Chain A
Amino acid sequence: MTALPTHRAEDWRYSDLDALGALWPLPEPENIIVPAGAHFDRSIVQDGGGVTQIHLSLGTGAAAHLRILNIGGGYGRVEVHATLHSGADFQLDCAQIGDGTQNLECVTHVTHAEPDATSRQTIRNVAGGAASVTYLGQVSVARDAQRTNSAQNVRAMLLSRHASVNAKPELEIFADDVQCAHGCAIGELDGAALFYLAARGIDPATARQMLLEAFLTEALGGDAALSTAAIAKLGQMA
């Protein structure tokens, strides 16, 4: 891409284009090729802002597990393109926590190019202040990619009336024997749970933090460093 995108481009609809303009042109995406049968594993903490683009290609029977914690900078975008060949397994866990005027985005394109591949995306977004937190996730299943199994589980928590969350799991399927699930829910902290914690003596800030940590857990992929960074970020927001 050479020209700066506009909001008319679906992938950039919610982006902070001023911030993007300052970063333009973007460096070449990182290309990662996971050979047949190999396993790739990475945790990414996006805490300084900017655009991270990763292009993954998973060979036959390869597996990749990507964990992303998107929390930092005025504008922070992580973009993942994954192409899955026969029998490959792709797992993406992404937690995004925005506050102030942050604009955070996770944009994924997962292509099931061949049969029998699986992909699972677990996304948890938290938006406080006047932050904008976005997940755009497209799963494409090619005509020959029979027995594809794909799932997108997206949940978001709005902490303020001025914050916004955009979530768009999207499927494009050209095969007929596939299992593709996508779920998306946006909510607020549960008032009944907050009162329950308070009634046992837990102050409101700690109660909020406990519920948000619990909310994010599934999207942190069991990574201790990511959990620590996520907890620290939540602590700054309290």
Chain B
Amino acid sequence: MLQINNLHATVADKPILKGLSLTINAGEVHAIMGPNGAGKSTLAYVLGGRPGYEVTAGSASLNGVDILSLDPHERAAAGLFLGFQYPVEIPGVSGVQFLREALNAQRKAHGLPPLSGGDFLKLAREKAALLGMDMDMLKRPVNVGFSGGEKKRAEMVQMGILNPSLAILDETDSGLDIDALRVVGDGINAIMRAPDKGVLLITHYQRLLDYVRPDFVHVLADGRITRSGGPELALELEREGYAEVAA
């Protein structure tokens, strides 16, 4: 599903990713862990196409499509969902308007007719309920005045509505209390645990992995994956620390 090969990327001319390779097959959940500054968020942004993140070598394809040659909105339509570590507040744009616009833009890219207002609200209500989110919050301006946990919950509602084939979730667990962590974890499982979907979880900590059990765990250090293993690797990291395991 996702094939990353020897990816090199720079931010402001500084090399951050230095030959990263990773394959995610359909139906798999992968977790990438690593110390601060290893390049975890850079990987997410590079795959999402954020301006300022320059790919200098290597390739990345999603379902056979070279995503690095696409604009960010085209990557979304190709099935990529980027969950933000810090979801952006957009005053004046309601969540409902934003999501309907987004969903219909993606449907248009696939040659599908736009979803009517009624059908969209029905879908939004269903996905919001899945994450225990009040519809009224979705009608408010995007993320404005939301707590850290509410923002992450809203991200997952967006993911449910947009129904991507691959979700890259950048520290979705940061800012969540224990209860919210469980809700978000359950949401990820409900939305993304499917034979035709894949998930890349980027996280510092083991705790999200208690709820969303990864099939593979990778250690990212100095711009490369230095170790890969099963779920037990996350526990080992938690026990021993990155310095020991990643070296």
Contacts and interface: CB of A to CB of B under 8 A. Distances in A.
Interface of A: 190-193, 195-204, 206-207, 210-211, 213-215, 217-218
A95 to B, nearest CB: 13
Nearest to A212: B92
Interface in B219-233: none
B87 A196 contact: yes
Contacts of A190: 88
A59 B162 CA distance: 56
Contact of B105 (A203, A214, A218): A203
B98 to A, nearest CB: 7
Interface string B75-119: 111000110100110111100011101110110010000000000
Contacts of B103: 201
Q: Which label, helix, strand, loop or mixed, suits the secondary structure of the B interface? A: helix
Given A199-B76, A201-B162, A214 B90 contact: yes
B88 A193 contact: yes
A16 B51 CA distance: 37
A213 B73 contact: no
A154 B156 CA distance: 36
A203 B73 contact: yes
Interface string B179-196: 000000000000000000
A202 B105 contact: yes
Top 5 A-B pairs ranked by shortest CB distance? A214-B92, A201-B76, A198-B72, A200-B102, A196-B88
B90 A201 contact: no
B215 interface: no
Interface residues of B, number: 31
Nearest to A209: B101
A202 B73 contact: yes
A200 to B, nearest CB: 4
B198 interface: no
A196 B84 contact: yes
B48 interface: yes
A37 B226 CA distance: 77
Nearest to B105: A201
A201 B114 CA distance: 14
A210 B76 contact: no
A200 B158 contact: yes
A211 B90 contact: yes
A202 B90 contact: no
A201 B102 contact: yes
A226 to B, nearest CB: 16
Nearest to A196: B88
B71 interface: yes
B90 A200 contact: no
Contacts of B88: 190, 192-193, 195-196
